[in-house]
Amino acid sequence: MDKTIKIQVRRYLPEKQPDPFWQEYEVPLEPKWGVLDALIYIKDHLDGSLSYRWSCHMGVCGSCGMMVNGEPALTCATFLEEYQPGPIRIEPLANFKVLRDLIIDTDDFMGKLKSVKPWLITDEKRDITDGENRQTPAELKAFKQYTLCINCMLCYSACPVVGLNEDFVGPAAIALAQRYNYDNRDSGNAARHDTLLAHGGAFDCTLIGECSRACPKHVDPTGAIQRYKADGAMEYWKRLIWPKAATAPKNDGIVKQID
Amino acid sequence: MDTETAPTYKRFRPSAYHPSMALTWWMKKPSYLLYILRELTAVFVAAYAIILLLTVRALSQGGEAWDTWLATLQRPGMILFHGFILAFAVYHSLTWFTLAPTALVVRIKDKVLPASALIAVHVAAWVGCSAFIAWVLLSA
């Protein structure tokens, strides 16, 4: 072992002690090793009790998000060399409940994601013989950016509003709602307005912009939320002044099943 | 919210801890501090609105009240306060215009107008309006 770097991990082992504590490890400073590689080294060689999530190791699955020196990051895409001489402090993602060591409780996020109905909602009856539901490149471009979200939750960790207001539906969920709102095959805007216009919806965002800075996929949730605010404000006044003219809620897409 | 995937399952799911945010969270990062400063500008802009209302009131109360109010405005403390208000108002306006492209997507045919162009148009309109108001006030 030539060069090494110190890794400090905030651990939480509720069956051993009620409060989280810091533990330090020393790992080889291999070139091209990510922070995730260091954690894997610790688990394999130094301390098998360390718990963390990971899967693809290539920035696609969104499982290995953690706080690295106080900033939310995908640990597979964050390299040890950038943090010389160390130490590197690794914590579970901020603004989430922690279940164990670096593992956060994702239930809250999953519930919020579901609440914006991020799936295709349409009344159009289509048969299998109709073939693909094609779009032009321009129609795809209108929302493609928002499809790139990998649900890594870094934006939730970066956003102070999420930390201060637990009802806030959050950046990724709104960006994903917009992914369907801007899809010309979808007509579920009205169903999504119910969540996004309500308490905890898009208007709880105070435009800090940290979500877009943290996003590893350049989804730009900040932009998605501000664009929704413009659409949502129009809808709010429509519903207030002339409720009949407002977009009528349609089915939420769940009931539509393959016969 | 809870998806309640398996609410009865408890054995290997012990109680979680939820770290709370410190009151000084906005001092942790420069970008958080700039955000808080941007929000704080509203206080100074509101203060100027109150000064403006007091000016209108002094105007309605006749010559003597007007002269007293003018003397108040010319005190060094008041001039310094106006300097603060101006600085915060300029910061407020600049941040407002630089954030405009996040909400506004302008499409011309197939191309999306770049953010820098949107900011430039906004700032140019702002400078133009300010220059016009200054011309009206100063030439009167």
Provide DSSP, chain A: --SEEEEEEEE--TTT-SS-EEEEEEEE--TT-BHHHHHHHIIIII-TT-------SSSSS---EEEETTEEEEGGGSBGGGGTT-PEEEEPPTTS-EEETTEEP-HHHHHHHHHT--S--------GGG------HHHHHTTHHHHT-----HHHHH-HHHHH-TT---HHHHHHHHHHHT-TT---HHHHHHHHSSTTSGGG-----HHHHH-TT---HHHHHHHHHHHHHHHHHHHHH-TTTSPPP---SSS----
Q: Is A175:A224 a contact under the CB 8 Å cutoff? A: yes
Contact B1 A112 (CB under 8 A): yes
Q: Which chain A residues in 127-186 lie under 8 Å from chain B, judged by CB atoms?
A: 138, 160, 163-164
Is pLDDT at A255 greater than 50 in this prediction? no
Domain B35-139 class in CATH:
mainly alpha
Q: Which residues lie closer than 8 Å to B99 by C-beta, 6 or more apart?
A: A207, A209, A226
| Residue B111 confidence (pLDDT) | 80
Least confident among A127-136, B36-45, B71-80 = A127-136
pLDDT bucket at B104, cuts 50 / 70 / 90: confident
Q: Helix A221-241 and helix A189-196: axis angle, to 10°?
A: 100
Q: Is the ipTM of this complex over 0.90?
A: no
* Owner of token pair 């409060």: A19
Is pLDDT at B109 greater than 80 in this prediction? no
Q: Which range, A13-17, A185-189, B122-126, has the best average confidence (pLDDT)?
A: B122-126
Q: How many CB pairs under 8 A join A and B?
A: 75
Contact B3 A110 (CB under 8 A): yes
Is pLDDT at B80 greater than 90 in this prediction? yes
Q: Is B25 on the interface with A (CB under 8 A)?
A: yes
Contact B17 A108 (CB under 8 A): no
pLDDT bucket at B138, cuts 50 / 70 / 90: very high
| Residue A226 confidence (pLDDT) | 94
Q: Is B16 on the interface with A (CB under 8 A)?
A: yes
Is pLDDT at A250 greater than 60 in this prediction? no
Q: Is A70 on the interface with B (CB under 8 A)?
A: yes
- Whole-angstrom distance, CA of residue B92 vs CA of residue A136: 40
State what percent of residues in chain A have pLDDT above 70: 94
| Residue A258 confidence (pLDDT) | 45
Pick A164's closest partner by Cβ from B18, B21, B110.
B21
Is pLDDT at A168 greater than 70 in this prediction? yes
Q: How far is B17 from chain A (nearest CA, A)?
A: 5
Q: Is B115 on the interface with A (CB under 8 A)?
A: no
Looking at beta carbons, which residues of chain B come within 8 Å of A111? Answer: 1-3
- Whole-angstrom distance, CA of residue A147 vs CA of residue A179: 6
Is pLDDT at B27 greater than 80 in this prediction? yes
Q: How far is A110 from chain B (nearest CA, A)?
A: 7
Q: Is B139 on the interface with A (CB under 8 A)?
A: no
- Mean local confidence (pLDDT), B55-80: 92
Is pLDDT at A112 greater than 50 in this prediction? yes
Structure letter (DSSP) for residue B114? P
What structural domains does chain A harbor? 4-104 (3.10.20.30), 107-241 (1.10.1060.10)
- For B23, which residue in chain A has the nearest alpha carbon? A164
Q: How far is B28 from chain A (nearest CA, A)?
A: 9
Looking at beta carbons, which residues of chain A come within 8 Å of B104? Answer: 230
Contact A222 B102 (CB under 8 A): yes
Helices and strands, number each (H, E), in chain B:
4, 2
- Whole-angstrom distance, CA of residue B130 vs CA of residue B140: 16
| Residue A180 confidence (pLDDT) | 95
Q: Is B111 on the interface with A (CB under 8 A)?
A: no
Is pLDDT at B11 greater than 70 in this prediction? no
